[in-house]
Amino acid sequence: MFSALRTVAPDFAHWLKQGRSRREALQHPIETDRATLTKMFRRGKDRMFEDLGFRISGWNGADDDEASSFLFSVGIYSEFVTNACVFNLPSPGLDGKESPSSQRVLTATVLSGLVRAMAVAWEPEWAIATSHAHRDEFIPRPRPARLWGWVTYYSDAVGRVPPLPAPVRMERVENQGTLLVLTPERFTARNPEHVALAERVRGLLDRAGLLGPPLPSL
């Protein structure tokens, strides 16, 4: 996955172990070969609760408003916690100003490349790239088993993606599943047309059984 990400954006080319300080972290680059990552996962085993699996994290060394990071939590079989591979990406500040990194990363092309690389590597049931605003404001509770967003992937194992309205783009991911891109321009929860399109797509995906049943509330 990491070798594929190097070709997606320069922000994903190098990773560092997260430390107690920026200075400490900059001294510990992550080698992304299989042997090194296997050791990291073994060291990231939860020592208290075996059912919480393994965890590793990393950061690309950029300043706060430019930074990308990842957290992989796998091997989990607790009924209260799920396996997840999460990338946190640079985003516009509260004043709406954008860093060069957010302008570069928050595009349909880069996010499609990121989700595609994750789908090929991890073979998940589903994956999304979307904003906190869209997830928190427009995805209802109780949430379904599988979500949807600006860029979404569904494995063939969970069902066939139905025909979707323009401008949604659909791409095959090898022989594994289908990648959906809602809009070629940046999707935003502040754009009523984008929100309406996402809701229309949600209805079609739900009727096709791709979203699954609502998750139980804890």
The CA distance from 176 to 159, in Å, is 11
Tell me what pLDDT residue 218 has: 54
The predicted-structure confidence for 72-99, as pLDDT tens digits, reads as follows 988 878 777 788 999 999 987 666 678 8
Whether omega before 144 lies within 30 degrees of 0, making that bond cis, reads no
The CA distance from 35 to 195, in Å, is 43
pTM: 0.90
How distant, in Å, are the alpha carbons of 35, 47, 164, 196 from that of 192?
47, 47, 18, 6
Q: Any idea what DSSP says for residue 103?
A: H
Tell me what pLDDT residue 217 has: 65
Tell me what pLDDT residue 94 has: 62
Residue 206 region by backbone torsions, left for phi larger than 0, else alpha for psi between -120 and 50, else beta: alpha
Q: Which residues of the chain carry a pLDDT beneath 50?
A: none
The CA distance from 109 to 151, in Å, is 10
Tell me what pLDDT residue 212 has: 92
